[in-house]
Amino acid sequence: MAKGYIKLHREILSHWLWDEKPFSKGQAWIDILLMVNHDTKKFVFGNELIEVKRGSCITSELKLMERWGWSKTKVRSFLDLLQKDKMLVKNTDRKKTTLTVCNYNIWQDSETTKELKKNHKKTTERPQKDTNKNVKNDKNDKKDIYSDYTENPNLLKALKDFEIMRNSMKNGKFTDQAKKLLLTKLNKLADTDEKKIAILEQSIFYGWKGVFSLKQGQAQKNGFDNFKKRTYDTVSLKEKLLKKGRGEL
C-alpha cells in the first residue's frame, strides 16, 4: 500500500469535476474530510451560538443528499457504515447532523508537524548543500588542465580542437595524463603561444595523434612575426574529420 500524504486544496469543491453526480463512496468520504473544520469555530445556528470543534462539521442528511446525488437511505446507510468502521461519529437531532472525523487531530497534526519540520530542514540544509556543490564545482574547475596552462583564448581553442580530433580517432581517448604530456612537449617545441598554435594546427590538419616540430617552411608560412589571431569552427573541424575517416579527403 502506498504511504505518505498528498496536498488537496478545498478549492476542488468548486471544481467542475466535483459537480458530477452521483458521488462514489470514496468521493463522498473525501468530501466529508474537506467539509469538516480545520480549526474550531463558532457560528450562529438559529437562535443558538454553536461551537464546532476542529475535525467536525454541521450538516444534514438533506444537504448530503443534494451534495452527493444520493437517496436519503443511501446517505444514512453510508454514514452508519463509516461510524461502524470508526471513521467518524454522527450525532443527529431534529435540526442538524454533526459529523466528527475520528482521529482527525492525530492525522492532521502528524502531517502538518512532519511536513513543517521536513520543509524547515530542507530549507536550512539547502544553503549548505549549495555551498558544497559550489566547492565541488570549484574543484572541478581546477582540474581544467588547459586553463591552468594558458589564458590565451586562441591557444585554449587550439588545444580543445586538438583534443576533439584525438577523441574522434579509434582508441584515441585523450586522458588527463596525455594532456599533460602534450603540454610538456609543446613547451619543448615552441617558446611562444603563436608557434604552439601552429604546431597544434599542423597536427589537426594531418590527423596526427601527437605534436611535432613544424615542417620546413611551415614557420615562415605561418608568419609568426605578424601572427593573426585565429578563430576556430569546431563544427567544421568535426565534419572534416568525418570526411577524412570516410576517405572523402
CATH number, position 71: 1.10.10.10
Residue 133 lies inside a defined structural domain of this protein: no
Kindly state whether residues 78 and 161 are assigned to the same domain.
no
Cell of 72: 436519503
Nearest partner of 92 among 68, 72, 71, judged by Cα: 72
Q: What is the pLDDT of residue 217?
A: 57
Q: Is a pLDDT exceeding 80 seen at residue 88?
A: yes
User: CA-CA distance, 171 to 185, in Å (whole number)?
Assistant: 21
Cell of 17: 469535476
Return the higher-pLDDT residue of 113 and 58. 58
pLDDT digits (tens, 9 = 90+) for 103-127: 998 888 765 555 555 555 555 555 5
Residue tagged 472525523 (cell numbers): 101
Residue 171 lies inside a defined structural domain of this protein: yes
Residue 93 and residue 61 in contact, taking contact as beta carbons nearer than 8 Å: no
Nearest partner of 41 among 28, 29, 51, 56, judged by Cα: 51
Kindly state whether residues 38 and 97 are assigned to the same domain.
yes
Q: Is a pLDDT exceeding 60 seen at residue 230?
A: no
Cell of 173: 581517448
Residue 115 lies inside a defined structural domain of this protein: no
pLDDT digits (tens, 9 = 90+) for 122-161: 555 555 555 555 545 544 444 578 888 888 888 889 998 9
* Total domains in the fold of the chain: 2
Confidence band of 229 (pLDDT split at 50, 70, 90): very low
For the segment 53-78, the average pLDDT, to the nearest whole number, is 94
Residue 57 lies inside a defined structural domain of this protein: yes
* Dihedral sign from CA coordinates of 201, 206, 211, 215: negative
Kindly state whether residues 151 and 88 are assigned to the same domain.
no
Kindly state whether residues 93 and 151 are assigned to the same domain.
no
Across the chain, mean pLDDT equals: 79
Q: What is the pLDDT of residue 226?
A: 43
Domain carrying residue 157: 145-245
Cell of 16: 467542475
Q: Which residues contact 189 (CB under 8 A, 6 or more apart)?
A: 195, 196, 199, 211, 212, 213
Least confident of 3-17, 45-59, 128-142, 195-209: 128-142
For the segment 4-11, the average pLDDT, to the nearest whole number, is 82
Residue 204 and residue 162 in contact, taking contact as beta carbons nearer than 8 Å: yes
Residue 241 and residue 207 in contact, taking contact as beta carbons nearer than 8 Å: yes
Q: Is a pLDDT exceeding 90 seen at residue 57?
A: yes
The residue from 55, 87, 104 where one domain ends is 104
Which secondary-structure segment (H or E) carries 91?
strand 88-92
Return the higher-pLDDT residue of 243 and 24. 24
Q: What is the pLDDT of residue 115?
A: 55
Kindly state whether residues 96 and 19 are assigned to the same domain.
yes
Kindly state whether residues 77 and 152 are assigned to the same domain.
no
The residue from 104, 133, 157 where one domain ends is 104
Q: What is the pLDDT of residue 133?
A: 54
User: CA-CA distance, 249 to 244, in Å (whole number)?
Assistant: 5
Which secondary-structure segment (H or E) carries 3?
none
Nearest partner of 189 among 176, 178, 202, 177, judged by Cα: 202
Residue 136 lies inside a defined structural domain of this protein: no
Confidence band of 51 (pLDDT split at 50, 70, 90): very high
Residue 69 lies inside a defined structural domain of this protein: yes
Q: What is the pLDDT of residue 67?
A: 93
